[in-house]
Structure formats: C-alpha cells, structure tokens
Structure 1
Amino acid sequence: MHRCCTRYNGRVITEAPGAAPLALASNIVHLDPEPAMFSAMREGWARQQAARVLQKDAIGSRLRLVERMGEFTGLYPWQWTPVDGGAFIAELRSGPKPIQLSTARTYEVMIALFVEYLLDARYGWVELCLERFGEAPQEVFHDGNSVLHAVEYEGDPRRRPLDYDEVQALFDAADSRVKRIRGQGRKGALTALRDAAVLKTIYAYGTRRTESTRVDLVDLRRIRSAPDFDRFGSMAVRYGKSAKGAPPKRRSVLLVPEMDWVIDVLGEWIEEIRPAFSPGRHPALWVTERVGRLSPRSINEAFVVARTDGGLDEDLDLHRLRHIVSAWFPCSDELQLG
C-alpha cells in the first residue's frame, strides 16, 4: 500500500489511504465543523476500506450503520462512550422487530472497526479531534458490554432445518401450484415450474439464495468419478458468500448419490422448460419471463408461497434447506417429485 508523509497543521502525518489530510482540508474553515469532521471521518474510512479491496456494498452498509449510530445518540464519534454503544444496540434489540443477537454482534464489530480506525495514529484523527474539540474517540464496545462475550451462540433457536416430511410437503406444494394454475387456465405455469425446480436444486446442492441466482449453465459440470450424473456431477459456485467484505469465495459442490433425483429435475428444466422462456444466449441457469437473471428476492418469494401452501411453520426459511441433517437425506427411491 502506497504511503508518503505530509505536514498537516505543522505535524507530519502519514498519507495512508484514509488519513485525515486526504479527507479534510486544513485550509478550509467550516461553518459547522462537527458535521464536517464526521463526514470526513466516514470518507476517510471508506478510502481505507477500499484500499483493502473490500466490496462497495460492504463499505456502504458499514457507513450507513455508523450514520445510524450518530443519529441515535445525537453525538459525534469523538463523543461516543460505551454507554452510548450499549444503548444503541439495546434499542435495536427492542421493539416489535428486534434484531437477532448475531446481527447485534455484527453491528458491534462494524462500529468497533470504525472506532479502531479513528484511534489508529497513522490516520491522525485523535490529534485533530483533541485540537479542534478537546475530545478524542474512545472504545465503544469492550469485553464487558459486547454480545460476543455474552453468549456462545447468537442464532435464533426457532431456526432449524426442515425434516424429511417438511421437505416433501414443500416440494408437493410447489408441484401442486403448477397443476392448479394449469387447471384454472391462468398464466404463470412456466414460472411455477421454474420455482419448483429452483427449490429442489437449492436443496440438492445446498446453495444459498444469492449463489443460486449467479449460477450459469456452464457451471454445471461432469465429474469422472460419477459418469452416471451426466453434466450435473458438480456445480461451480463462483459467487459464494464473502467474509468481512472480501471478494466472493469460489467453491465446487459435488452432487451426492442421495440427491441424484435432481438430475431429472435439471434435465427437464434445461431441455424443456427453460427454452420456453426464449432466453436466447443468456448464460444464467435461472431466467425470468423478461429474459433476465432470477433475483434472490424471487427465490425467497417462491419458498414463502410453497411454505404457506404446504402449511409449514412460518419460522422455517429458505436458508434452512442448506442445513438438512445427514440422517434426513432422502433416498432417491423415496422422494416423490411429482
């Protein structure tokens, strides 16, 4: 990472990406110095994260969280205390739609990273705050008020894998929707067929919602060890879940024998149903009626519709299809796919 040194108000400061001199000009007098300083801090943090090649979406979400912290407290970062941090998280954990403990922990980590950036002497914010406001940033979350040290598991206990009967009910509901639409002579049968195939494929390969939308036809591949699986022996996931804003992780998912029934599902989709959407040269495995790539939201809506039609627990979500216990894997001659 390129660095050089410059004089800022008589001090020598390293010009690393995110340093105060790069975000806040020393020769400008602001009418409202506090908001200007806070804005410069956020801009500097964004530059520092961009230099670490973090994704724009991750940077944006972190900046919005810092802004929310400022709005909630009515204070600026150099005025924040552990009490303010605890009150902010407590507020988010209350009300009709409280955030999960895992989300609270993530928020604490994000805010702690921002404060850690401000406290880093290489960026010059502490001296600048002391000079202009007589106060300096301090740690907001520590061992005594952090969710990370309060519990070992932050997940909602209501979230669990679907059992075999629930998976069967989900697939039956998705298939029945196709028959119902056709019987009523309404449009939407092709979409319902696609939605049913999507849900079954997610279950068979264990992919996430967003990962599934980014899969292309070329990502389905043969493997020498399982020639009977044809071109569906493995699925290349090129847009896997990233960690801490890093680029997407890549992985290959192998089809297991217990899930070989999905070969027929995908074969029918690719050879018969997908061509009816007139996708042309579109590379996506899952396409829409307007020849676009299916969105994560659409996949989630398909799951919710099937879950409702199947009379399943509302606490079950699409992500739980990835967490089926191995003992629940249905055998190929047991699962009826309609």
Structure 2
Amino acid sequence: MSDDDLSAHLCRLGLTPPEAATYLAMLHTGLTHSSGLAEHLGRPFAETARHLGRLGEIGLVSARGPDGDEAVPVDPAIALDHLSHARAAELQRAHASAVNAYRDYRRSVSPQATEDLVEVVTGPRIVDRILHVEGAADAQVLRFDSPPYHVPAGANPTELGNLRRGVEYRVVYSKSAVQNHAYYADNIQPCIAAGEHARVLPTVPVKLTVFDRRLAVVSMSFVEAEVNDSLLVVRPSSLLSALTGLFETAWRAAYPMHFGDRVPPSLRALHLRILELLGTGVTDDTIAQLLGISRRTLSRNLEQLNHQAGTSSRFQLALYAVRNGWI
C-alpha cells in the first residue's frame, strides 16, 4: 500500500492530513526528536509538536527520553481500533440527528402534507430501487411472491447474501410462482436451502415486500402491469402498518414449504422435495416436472413415503407429517 493510500485511510478514521503525514514520516524515521521531525517535514517546530501530542493522545506514538522530547511510532492496532469505533459512533450520531431533524420537520408541516408517505417509481428506476432497498435490509424481510417480476425471475444473490449475514426472510409464495419450473429451481429452492422461511397460498392478496417493518414496496398485478408498470414505495404510516398486518394474517393461513427439526434422517432428499411440493397444492404433473421425474417415478416414491409413515393416502400422510413434527 502506498503512503498516499495509507494517509487517506488514516484520515477516514479521524486523523487530520498533517497528523497522518507526521505518523507516516515517523514510520520512515523511527525514534526521532521533535525538532528533527519538524525539519524532516519542513514544518514549524510548534506545529509538529502539536501533532505529536495529538498522536500521543490517540496512542500512535510513544514519548521517549529523559525529557520526553523524543517519540517513536508504536503498534497501531489498538489505537486504530479505538479510532474506528469512535468514527462509527460519530456516524451513528449523525444518522440519528438527521432522522430526528426530518421527524421534527414532518411534525412542523401541515397534516395534509403526506405526499412523501407514498412514492411512485416507474420505468428503469424500479429495478435499481428494489435492489438498493433489499441490499440495505438490516433484520427482516417479509414478502408476498407472485409473478410478474420487475427483477429477472432467476437467482436472487441479494437475498442469499442477506441470509448469510443474518437477515430473516419470511416469504409467502403464490402457487403460480411455485409452478414456474425455472423460478422454483433457480430462486425458491436455493433460498429455502439458505434459510428462508417459506409458505404457500393459492394466491397472494398483493405483490408486497416489507423491509425491517419501516418501508414497503408494492408492485402491480398482471392486469395492472399491462397499463401501469410502476412500484409504490410506502414509508412509515398507518398504511405500512396495515400492509404488515396483512402479511402476518396471510402467513398464519399459509402452508409451510420447509421442514421442522424432527424429520427422520432416513428420508431421502427426493422424498423431502415431494413432501414440500405436496404442501403447495400443485398437481402431480407439476411436481414431476419440477423434480425432473416421470409420473410413474413420482407414484412409486409416494408409495414408499406412505409405507414408511404407515399411511394409505395423501391426507393421512399429511396428518402424519404434521403430528410428528416433520413440517
């Protein structure tokens, strides 16, 4: 790393450019007197002494000599950690101040000035807005998933990345989303395997995603999209609370697409996939297509599942799976 790059990084952590230059010079000179360092930098002695005092307070240099007029650079790990935490705290305070200032502004304007509670996003800006908002999710994403899709209906690297860093996803899929062979293989299955909590309903009431319960995006349905390709961004309001409540109601009514902690290890991976899809309500033809097997192979595996559970029908198999904590 060049001195210019290191100086820029030190300044980002809170040092002034002269302080960063003083520290970098000491990395080259080692133990030095204040006067010698001032001469090396071409700066007044008093200015250099002031910068050394600041670096000493931070912990980047240590005073030496009987009169403390010599200084040497020290291991920066602890000092830079302290600067990093202090900088993060400053940014957090700045964030809180900006949010509070905006709230004060909102309280000061007329109650009728609510046009900023709902924003309409159209055209090519839609995809960028969705990716930006989802990438910034901090704790939880709630979603009704149904075609059509603004973002290409393939893999979702943003969700997979969020799941890896601990963001909770709860998704209610419409049956039409599950029936899409490519979407099921490229998007739904990988996300469930990565930790997404998924359920399914025959249809979902609206195309909706709620981020951290503080912002929602509402997309248009098939019919609406034909005449109005747009996205609604809903900010904190009674409307956002209502949309979140709608999701929770639908979530409780939906059927699970993933399994509990008591699934027997003897169940084959194919049997787990079959059970998962049986709960979605799709047809046998669709299940066979999604799994890439024939109807005859599907029937044979259903017989094996019933035999293992000691059941004789799909209804009994479903009851058995629920009662025994498979689902």
The structure, 1 or 2, with the larger RCO (C-alpha pairs under 8 Å, 6+ apart) is: 1
| TM-score (norm: length of structure 1) | 0.26
TM-score by length of 2: 0.26
Structure with the greater alpha carbon radius of gyration: 2
